[in-house]
Structure 1
Amino acid sequence: MTDWGLIDPGGADATATDDEAVLAALVDVERALLRAWGSVLDEFLDAQADALDSAALDRDALRAGVERDGVPVVALVPALRAQLEAAGLPADRLHLGATSQDVVDTALMFVARDALAAARASLVEAGRGLAVLGQGARHRPRIARSLARHGEASTLGVLAAGWLDGVSSAVAAIDAVEFPVQFGGAVGTGAAADAAAGRPGAADEVRAELAAQLGLADPGRSWHAERTPVLAAASAAASVVAALGRIAGDATFLSREEVGEVRLANAGGSSAMPHKRNPADAVAITAAAVEAPGLLSVIASAAIAGDERSAGRWHAEWSALRRLARLARSASAAASRLVSGLEFDADRAAALLADSGPAGARPDRDVLAAASDRVVDRSVARFTRLTEPEARA
């Protein structure tokens, strides 16, 4: 049975990143490749592309193929070819000029792109909420903490602005990623595609058409053993989770009964203590943030690749990249919920400040207000530039 989230709070949102989504993406790549060849060869291959049906594929046979061959595409291609033949359509153009890595790499870029796009949308929602919090609490004083001890006076607005800066950085990390197609054939030269078309440079034409069909980037090259595109996507996902992990950690601590500067509306229950209201969204984000660095290390280790196509290292990327994309999407959705139900208790924050011992806890109010205005305004302006198209124009 496929995992369905029973013990996976950090990756609870498996939308578009589960095995069914990956299989659909693999078939989408083969479908787009047929259409790309149709454009390059000036042939009508839309009927073949439309006949491919991921829902009708035998999952048990595909699982057996992965166990036997080490990759899913070896069993997938004959199954798709059988669909075409059953429909009375020629199958000679299916998978033409491609190798398994072309299809898997492109499909996983497709999955990662969509998952990080969904994460970005949730980040923007969370960021807008943080901007409102920051602007509304810019002159609400609190004690800032340094190395787990009281430091100097700050404001609740500055706290929210710091969180917003992390969200902005996560959005920027996603925006910086190019999600490229992969098309190089057996050893990355594109020779099979050139031979199939009967002219040099056909592989470049097919790759460009494939990118256009899928809405991915054309890298102008094959990157079978040059794995920085995967590392870039994985790093962006990890950056998202890390930025949100900081927010979750602060919210968890500041919502403790003995602190109380933050109130959380969306709370989970306890099986043993009915009076408890656990910070469920913050817990889920923290779980994702604890897991993500290990997954990123897998991607970084696999990036050394080797040969023209790597044995084993490439294979280790698949689940790690897919999992990082899922964690980023899940954590971002949880962050949006967390922020939507988060409130500051300005009176409690002021009381903690008044009880603090450090001399810096009693600053000049005008100086503090001016400093807070500067921090909050800059944070909100940066977020707006990154997320509002009219602000970027």
Structure 2
Amino acid sequence: MSIFEGFLSTPETLAAFGGHGIVAGMLRFEAALARAQAAEGLIPAEAAHSIAASCQVDLFDVAKIVRDSARAGSVAIPLVRALTEAVGLFNPAAARHVHGGSTSQDVVDTAMALATRDALAWIDADLVRAIQALLALAEAHADQPMLARTLMQPASVTSLGLKCVDWAAPLVRGRLRLRAAAARALQLQLGGPVGTLAQMRGRGAAVRRRMAQDLGLADPGGSWHTQRDEWVALGCELGVVTGSLGKIAGDIALLGQGEVGEVGEPDEPGRGEATTMPHKRNPVASMVALAAAQRAPQRVAGLLAAMVQQQERALGPLQAEIAEWPQLVMSAHGSARALATALPGLRIDAGRMRENIDRVRSGLERCAADEWFSPALAAEAGALARAQVPALRARLDVC
């Protein structure tokens, strides 16, 4: 991560996909593997206890493991080596049972699933906050007239309430799709070197079931080493939600321009200050969400391109995918957090909205002004908003 990326995400998501977070997830995999294999009689219970006791991330030099991964070709290889050495210090007999019958991709994919599960919970919470703020605004300003703009030009009149409903609806739908996709994609990965679990002497499926339950992940019923469809589908849904957040941010940024001045992000000390102009306040939440919407399509495209994975294990595409994935998740959460923070305090200037309507109306002939800027139009838009808010709230409560 470069210095320019940190503020585009959130501290918790950055930590989840950082070295410490991913290595911790990999150690959770190794502990669960040992426990499951002991329960199935594949390794001694004492060995499993020693392995699980050693799977504490603070016992390891994470920076060294990350450095060594460049030479090894996978972060799992130096991690397993370090874990084997740590177990051997206290129980030499148990060391030979570390990582038994598994493979490096099993460890990495599962650690990524664990980190993604945490990140999705944070994204979900921030989406709920953003949606609730928008629905509250929709109710409070259901009948507030404002200009509708089409092709970047003043068109007719709508209501701020309906605009907020239109912002919220894709987030409600996107949240439901994300949860459905996550239920399919957040799976344990356990296939062994070629996906057959042959080294587990016929107990592989039972070990996989136990591990999935231990880690709170779905049991896929097999290996998905090079079958990335459900995983990439989840990535596509993250991209769509990020685009929906970006659309809201783009509208707010346009409405907040000085020449328009109808809405604005919250005023807080230090928020959006310019280096030289004291009168300037930059819409930083919109900036973060727009940056995410710019970056997400490339990340999603990278995931789709990486689906062409060779045979039972991939050379190149997998490594490209796992490099793209954290960037996509971090952008999605950065966008959701930015708007969840800004929308509850969105500043509304009803007077400016009326001025902008009157300015356009004053340049029209009376019949055209009455047709396109009748007060009844805003009232109709408000009625639409009030009708849709309860339905959106009901879908929000489904999850």
Could you say which residue in structure 1 is the equivalent of 2:7?
A: 9
Which among 379, 382, 388 is matched to residue 369 of structure 1?
A: 379
CA separation of 1:155/1:371 partners in 2, compared to 1, >3 Å: closer, same or farther?
closer
Could you say which residue in structure 1 is the equivalent of 2:351?
A: 347
Could you say which residue in structure 2 is the equivalent of 1:25?
A: 25
Could you say which residue in structure 2 is the equivalent of 1:387?
A: 396
- 1:148: Cα distance to partner? 0.9
* 2:247 partner amino acid: R
Moved more, 114-123 or 91-100: 91-100
Could you say which residue in structure 2 is the equivalent of 1:191?
A: 198
- 1:335: Cα distance to partner? 1.0
Checking the alignment, whether the CA contact within 8 Å between 2:242 and 2:296 is kept in structure 1 is yes
Q: What per-residue deviation string (whole Å, max 9, x for no partner) do you get for residues 145-189 of structure 1? A: 111112221100011111111221231132112311111111111
Q: What per-residue deviation string (whole Å, max 9, x for no partner) do you get for residues 352-376 of structure 1? A: 22322574532361x6424432344
Which among 77, 93, 110 is matched to residue 80 of structure 2?
A: 77
Q: Distance in 1 between matches of 2:318 and 2:298?
A: 16
- 1:81: Cα distance to partner? 1.0
- 1:208: Cα distance to partner? 1.4
Give me the TM-score of the superposition, normalised by structure 1: 0.91
Checking the alignment, whether the CA contact within 8 Å between 1:265 and 1:341 is kept in structure 2 is yes
Q: Would you say how many aligned residue pairs link Structure 1 and Structure 2?
A: 380
Q: Distance in 1 between matches of 2:381 and 2:287?
A: 32
Q: Which runs of 5+ in 2 are unaligned?
A: none
**Counterparts of residues 139-158 of structure 1 (less than 5 Å):** 139-158=143-162
Q: Distance in 1 between matches of 2:141 and 2:77?
A: 58
Q: Kindly indicate whether residue 59 of structure 2 is the aligned counterpart of residue 48 of structure 1.
A: no
Which among 298, 305, 317 is matched to residue 294 of structure 1?
A: 298
- 1:290: Cα distance to partner? 0.7
Moved more, 247-256 or 25-34: 25-34
Q: What per-residue deviation string (whole Å, max 9, x for no partner) do you get for residues 33-80 of structure 1? A: 122223332853344212212222233542343212211111111110
Moved more, 64-73 or 38-47: 38-47
Q: What per-residue deviation string (whole Å, max 9, x for no partner) do you get for residues 307-334 of structure 1? A: 1111000000112111111111211111
* 1:373 partner amino acid: A
Checking the alignment, whether the CA contact within 8 Å between 2:174 and 2:240 is kept in structure 1 is yes
* 1:378 partner amino acid: Q
Q: Distance in 1 between matches of 2:355 and 2:27?
A: 60
Give me the TM-score of the superposition, normalised by structure 2: 0.89
* 2:23 partner amino acid: L
Q: What per-residue deviation string (whole Å, max 9, x for no partner) do you get for residues 102-145 of structure 1? A: 11111111111111110110110111111100011111111111
Q: Distance in 1 between matches of 2:145 and 2:194?
A: 62
Q: Alignment RMSD, CA only?
A: 2.0
- 1:380: Cα distance to partner? 4.4
**Counterparts of residues 1-393 of structure 1 (less than 5 Å):** 3=1, 5-13=3-11, 14-41=14-41, 44=45, 45-88=48-91, 90-177=94-181, 178=184, 179-193=186-200, 195=201, 200=202, 202-266=203-267, 267-357=271-361, 359=368, 360-363=371-374, 365=376, 368-382=378-392, 384-389=393-398
Checking the alignment, whether the CA contact within 8 Å between 2:296 and 2:328 is kept in structure 1 is yes
CA separation of 1:136/1:54 partners in 2, compared to 1, >3 Å: closer, same or farther?
same
Checking the alignment, whether the CA contact within 8 Å between 1:164 and 1:380 is kept in structure 2 is no
Checking the alignment, whether the CA contact within 8 Å between 1:269 and 1:276 is kept in structure 2 is yes
Q: Distance in 2 between matches of 1:371 and 1:255?
A: 22
Q: Percent identity?
A: 29
Checking the alignment, whether the CA contact within 8 Å between 1:161 and 1:380 is kept in structure 2 is no
CA separation of 1:173/1:19 partners in 2, compared to 1, >3 Å: closer, same or farther?
farther
* 1:309 partner amino acid: R
Secondary structure at 1:139's aligned position in 2? coil
* 1:388 partner amino acid: D
Checking the alignment, whether the CA contact within 8 Å between 1:65 and 1:72 is kept in structure 2 is yes
Secondary structure at 1:164's aligned position in 2? helix
Q: Distance in 2 between matches of 1:260 and 1:60?
A: 49
Checking the alignment, whether the CA contact within 8 Å between 1:180 and 1:229 is kept in structure 2 is no
Secondary structure at 1:33's aligned position in 2? helix
Moved more, 184-193 or 354-363: 354-363
Secondary structure at 2:311's aligned position in 1? coil
Q: Distance in 1 between matches of 2:375 and 2:137?
A: 23
Q: Distance in 1 between matches of 2:106 and 2:241?
A: 27
CA separation of 1:370/1:62 partners in 2, compared to 1, >3 Å: closer, same or farther?
same
Checking the alignment, whether the CA contact within 8 Å between 1:164 and 1:379 is kept in structure 2 is no
Checking the alignment, whether the CA contact within 8 Å between 1:143 and 1:356 is kept in structure 2 is no
Moved more, 349-358 or 123-132: 349-358
Secondary structure at 1:222's aligned position in 2? coil
Q: Distance in 2 between matches of 1:387 and 1:210?
A: 32
* 2:30 partner amino acid: E
Q: Distance in 1 between matches of 2:289 and 2:339?
A: 7
- 1:15: Cα distance to partner? 3.5
Moved more, 264-273 or 135-144: 264-273
